[in-house]
Amino acid sequence: MNGAVIKGYEEDVGKRTSVYVHTAHSITDSLIAFQEYGYKSAPHDKGIKYVLIPEGLRDFQWLQGLYKGEKVSSGEYQDIK
């Protein structure tokens, strides 16, 4: 979930991600927040399912921009593509 670091913990958590649960904030800010713990990116395993937990209007704006391939025109994620 969010910026989970699995390197070094594979015996406990496994080596494959099937479902990745996140908020717009966590998927965009996890790289900065968890970099010191070895987090490099959201997982990109084949067949992975991403589950967005919306937190408010900002998540709708982010998702709409992502879906349309456009920069977000307002709010916290303004100009992020």
Nearest Cα to 4, choosing from 29, 32, 38, 28? 38
Q: Tell me the pLDDT band of 73, cut-offs 50, 70 and 90.
A: low
**Integer Cα distance of 57 and 34 in angstroms:** 25
Report the predicted TM-score, pTM, of the whole model to 2 decimal places.
0.59
**Integer Cα distance of 38 and 62 in angstroms:** 26
In this prediction, residues 48-69 reach a mean pLDDT of: 84
49 or 15, which is more confident? 49
pLDDT of residue 58: 79
**Integer Cα distance of 51 and 63 in angstroms:** 12
Above 70 in pLDDT, residue 33? yes
Share of the chain above pLDDT 70, in %: 84
